[in-house]
C-alpha cells in the first residue's frame, strides 16, 4: 500500500477494530477494574507517544486515572527504573519491537504490576512481555509515515476508556467514527489544491489544546518527516508563554480548533494573532466563527464529540502533509534517513 491508500484505508481499519476487538477490550477493562490501579505508566516513542498524549487527557477526564509518561532511558540505559507499585504499565508501539519500550513493560512485570500493550503485532516482543494485549489489527502498514496505525491507537485508547466505564452512550459515539472519517476524506481534492499555497513554506507552528494537543504533535511530526518543514507543536496556552514572539507578518500558523471546552480560549488567541501579527492561518475546525478567520479553512463534521475529535482531526492533517510533500517534489514513500521500524534503546 502507498501512503495515500493507507490514509484512505483508515475507515475500514477503524470499523474492523471496533467490530473485532471491542469484546476483547471490554474483557481487559473488566479485569483491570478489579485491581487496585492508581495510575497508568505509559511508554511510547514517536507517533505512539503522540497517541499517549491523547490517553493522558482522555483517561484523566473520563476515567480519573493519572497518566505518567515514562522516561524509557531510565529502564534501558541507566537501568534505574522507578517503583511502579499500583501502576498499570502500558507500552504503545506499532511494531512492538523497540527495545526501550519493551524494557519498560518487562520491568513492570518484574515488579509484579499489571502490564498491557497496544500494538499492531501480537507476536512482537512487546506483546510477549505484556499480560494484556490490544491487537490493532490494521494489517501491514508499509508506508514509513504512520497513519492508520496512529488512528487505530487512538481508537483503542478510546475503546478502553469507554469499556472501563461501561458507557453505552459513548459506545454509540465510537461507532460513528468511521463515517466521520469518511466525510473528512472527501476533502482530499480541496486539500490537494490548498497545499500548493504552502509549497515554499520552510517553518510553521501547529497549535492545539486539550484532547487535540496530541493532534498538534502528530501533525507537526508528519510535516517534518514527509515535507521536511520545521514544524513546532504547542499548546495554545504554552504558546503565549514566550514562543509567540517568533511570529511576524505571514508566518504560517496551523490550528486544530474543534467545538468543545477549549474553543473559546483558542478563538481568542487566534483572533489576536490575526489582528496583531497578520499571520497566515490554516484552521481545522467545525465552527464557522474560527474558520472565517483563516486564509485556509478546512471544515470537519459538526456532530463530533470533542473527546473523539483527535481521531477525525488528524485525517485532514495527514492529507495536507501528503499533498504538501508532493507539491514540494519529495517522495512520500521514502522519507530521507527514516525506516519503518526504529529500534532505540
27, HSE (Cβ side, Cα atoms, 13 Å): 9
What's the gap between Cα 128 and its chain centre? 24
Task: Give 261's contacts (C-beta < 8 A, 6+ positions apart).
Answer: 210, 306
Residue 117, C-alpha cell as written in the block: 500493550
Q: Please give the chain's pLDDT, 345 residues, in tens.
A: 799 999 999 999 999 999 999 999 999 999 999 999 999 999 999 999 999 999 999 999 999 999 999 998 898 889 999 999 999 999 999 999 999 999 999 999 999 999 999 999 999 999 999 999 999 999 988 888 999 999 999 999 999 999 999 989 999 999 999 999 999 999 999 999 999 999 999 999 999 999 999 999 999 999 999 999 999 999 999 998 999 999 999 999 999 999 999 999 999 999 999 999 999 999 999 999 999 999 999 999 999 999 999 999 999 999 999 999 999 999 999 888 776 566 666
- Distance, in Å, from the CA atom of 176 to the CA atom of 212, rounded to the nearest integer, reads 19
- Distance, in Å, from the CA atom of 305 to the CA atom of 147, rounded to the nearest integer, reads 21
Task: Give 163's contacts (C-beta < 8 A, 6+ positions apart).
Answer: 22, 25, 26, 28, 29, 30
Q: Which CATH class is domain 186-327?
A: alpha beta
- Distance, in Å, from the CA atom of 168 to the CA atom of 229, rounded to the nearest integer, reads 42
Asked if residue 104 lies in contact with residue 75, where contact means CB atoms within 8 angstroms, the answer is: yes
The CATH code belonging to domain 3-175 is: 3.40.50.10490
What's the gap between Cα 32 and its chain centre? 24
| Phi, psi of 251, rounded to the nearest 5 degrees | -65, 130
Residue 272, C-alpha cell as written in the block: 489576536
Indicate if 186-327 has the same CATH topology as 3-175. yes
- Distance, in Å, from the CA atom of 319 to the CA atom of 8, rounded to the nearest integer, reads 9
- Distance, in Å, from the CA atom of 203 to the CA atom of 226, rounded to the nearest integer, reads 13
Domain boundaries, the chain: 3-175, 186-327
* pTM for this entry: 0.96
Residue with cell 507517533: 47
- Distance, in Å, from the CA atom of 15 to the CA atom of 333, rounded to the nearest integer, reads 25
Amino acid at each position: 500500500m502507498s501512503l495515500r491508500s493507507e490514509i484512505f484505508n483508515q475507515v475500514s481499519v477503524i470499523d474492523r477494530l471496533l467490530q473485532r476487538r471491542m469484546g476483547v477490550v471490554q474483557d481487559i477493562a473488566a479485569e483491570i477494574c478489579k485491581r487496585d490501579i492508581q495510575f497508568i505508566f505509559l511508554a511510547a516513542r514517536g507517533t505512539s507517544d503522540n497517541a499517549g498524549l491523547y490517553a493522558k487527557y482522555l483517561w484523566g477526564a473520563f476515567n480519573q486515572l493519572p497518566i505518567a509518561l515514562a522516561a524509557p532511558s531510565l529502564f534501558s540505559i541507566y537501568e534505574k527504573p522507578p517503583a511502579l507499585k499500583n501502576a498499570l504499565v502500558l507500552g504503545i508501539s506499532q511494531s512492538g519491537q523497540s527495545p526501550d519500550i519493551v524494557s519498560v513493560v518487562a520491568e513492570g512485570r518484574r515488579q509484579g504490576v499489571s502490564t498491557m500493550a497496544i500494538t499492531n503485532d501480537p507476536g512482537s516482543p512487546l506483546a510477549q512481555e505484556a499480560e494484556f494485549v490490544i491487537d490493532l489489527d490494521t494489517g501491514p502498514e508499509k508506508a514509513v509515515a504512520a497513519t492508520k496505525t496512529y488512528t487505530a491507537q487512538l481508537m483503542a485508547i478510546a475503546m478502553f476508556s469507554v469499556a472501563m466505564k461501561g458507557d453505552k452512550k459513548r459506545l454509540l459515539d465510537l461507532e460513528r467514527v468511521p463515517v466521520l472519517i469518511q466525510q473528512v476524506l472527501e476533502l482530499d481534492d480541496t486539500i490537494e489544491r490548498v497545499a500548493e499555497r504552502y509549497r515554499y513554506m520552510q517553518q510553521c507552528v501547529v497549535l492545539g489544546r486539550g484532547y487535540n494537543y496530541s493532534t498538534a504533535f502528530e501533525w507537526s511530526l508528519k510535516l517534518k518527516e514527509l515535507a521536511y518543514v520545521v514544524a513546532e507543536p504547542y499548546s495554545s496556552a504554552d504558546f503565549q508563554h514566550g514562543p509567540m514572539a517568533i511570529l511576524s507578518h505571514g508566518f504560517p500558523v496551523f490550528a486544530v480548533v474543534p467545538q468543545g471546552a477549549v474553543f473559546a480560549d483558542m478563538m481568542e488567541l487566534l483572533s489576536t494573532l490575526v489582528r496583531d501579527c497578520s499571520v497566515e492561518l490554516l484552521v481545522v475546525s467545525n465552527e464557522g466563527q474560527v474558520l472565517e478567520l483563516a486564509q485556509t479553512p478546512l471544515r470537519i463534521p459538526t456532530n463530533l464529540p470533542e473527546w473523539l475529535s483527535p481521531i477525525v482531526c488528524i485525517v485532514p492533517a495527514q492529507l495536507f502533509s501528503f499533498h504538501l510533500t508532493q507539491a514540494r517534489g519529495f517522495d512520500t514513500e521514502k522519507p530521507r534517513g527514516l525506516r519503518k521500524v526504529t529500534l532505540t534503546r
